[in-house]
Amino acid sequence: MDDTTKWLLTGPAYVQYRTRVDLLKQSESNAAVRAARQAMLTDQQVRALIDEASNLSKQVISSHKSAGHALHKLTFLADLGLRADDPGMKQVIAGIFKHQSTQGPFQVLMNVPVHFGGTGKDDFAWALCDAPLVVSALCKFGLGNDARVRRAVDYLTGLVRENGFPCAVSPELGKFRGPGRKEDPCPFANLAMLKVLAQNSQTRNSRASRLAVESILARWQNRRTEHPYMFYMGTDFNKLKAPLVWYDILHVLDVLTQFSWTRTDARLQAMLKIVQAKSVDGKFIPESIWTAWQDWEFGQKKVASYWVTFLAQRILKRANA
């Protein structure tokens, strides 16, 4: 066990838990793993997060980049390793299943102004920048084989095009579309869909996965000239930031390295070198923060963060597998 891993095991319970499972590859039945997980489930911040995630069907999404929205709290709970049968999760999941669209994806409450092509009213709807996040969270909670979840996965996967996933929305949102050309792929939609497709071996090696991965890597390769839907991969993109909310280097690498066939790609390797260069004796300091998460240990830019360090080390470990 190296010094960085030893240091991670002195961090918050959720960092200890994921470090033991993801970095040390310890079994869920291991006594130390069980103890770390139980401590995580009783952590006050994690408990509050579960309560807040249960408000998913009550909070209107005004911007998918709003890091404090229940949608992103749901995603973070999934990243931590919460399960459907953990205390408080039954209510969270029941609220999601209550709003499944006729197409298959689960809906969230949105309000798109008329001048952006929406109705200007609060409506339950879905878009390809939120629906995959909900579905991937359900899969991580252990519900990947639920018929309702499979229906959502199948519909969303079917939206792929030759250049990846587009900006797509449900009928309730009318003619709404993000700020880009209709024929362009949406970088975040591709990232979000890859979070879904990574959840089992069949979809992980599918044509849809390869098209979505290539769509993101092509954007990186042409980042100086191509900015579909106003997504850039420059200075701000390269800043280390947690949790994984939007389109940035840690989020992209955390997702792409789950696909083993990406790891030798020169474009991915170029991104990895940028992250590696930020290491301070194996630890990583956040370079940007989400103010909605400033009370968490990664919500500062002064000292090394346990969670950001864990994310970076997991990415590097996968890439070198």
Contacts of 217 (CB under 8 A, 6+ apart): 256, 262, 265, 267, 268
pLDDT digits (tens, 9 = 90+) for 175-200: 777 877 889 999 999 999 999 999 99
What does the block give as tokens for 61? 């999404």
What does the block give as tokens for 72? 């992103």
Q: How confident is the model at residue 135 (pLDDT cuts 50, 70, 90)?
A: very high
Q: How confident is the model at residue 36 (pLDDT cuts 50, 70, 90)?
A: very high
Whole-model pTM? 0.96
How far is residue 201's CA from residue 259's CA, in Å, rounded to a whole number?
10
Q: Within a 10 A sphere around the Cβ of 151, how many other Cβ atoms?
A: 16
- Return the closest-CA partner of residue 196 out of 138, 262, 126: 138
Q: How confident is the model at residue 118 (pLDDT cuts 50, 70, 90)?
A: low
Q: How confident is the model at residue 230 (pLDDT cuts 50, 70, 90)?
A: confident
pLDDT digits (tens, 9 = 90+) for 52-90: 999 999 999 878 889 999 999 999 999 999 999 999 999
Apex 100 CA angle, 88 and 117, nearest 5: 115
Q: Is the pLDDT of residue 117 over 70?
A: no
Stretch among 101-110, 124-133, 175-184 having the lowest mean pLDDT: 175-184
Residue found by looking up tokens 């449900």 in the block: 170
Q: Is the pLDDT of residue 113 over 80?
A: no
Proportion of the chain above pLDDT 90, given as a percent: 87
Q: Within a 10 A sphere around the Cβ of 102, how many other Cβ atoms?
A: 7
**Residues paired with residue 125 on neighbouring β-strands, in sequence order:** 108
Q: How confident is the model at residue 114 (pLDDT cuts 50, 70, 90)?
A: confident
pLDDT digits (tens, 9 = 90+) for 236-293: 999 999 999 999 999 999 999 999 999 999 999 999 999 999 999 999 999 999 999 9
**pLDDT at residue number 122:** 85
Report the pLDDT averaged over residues 108-122: 77
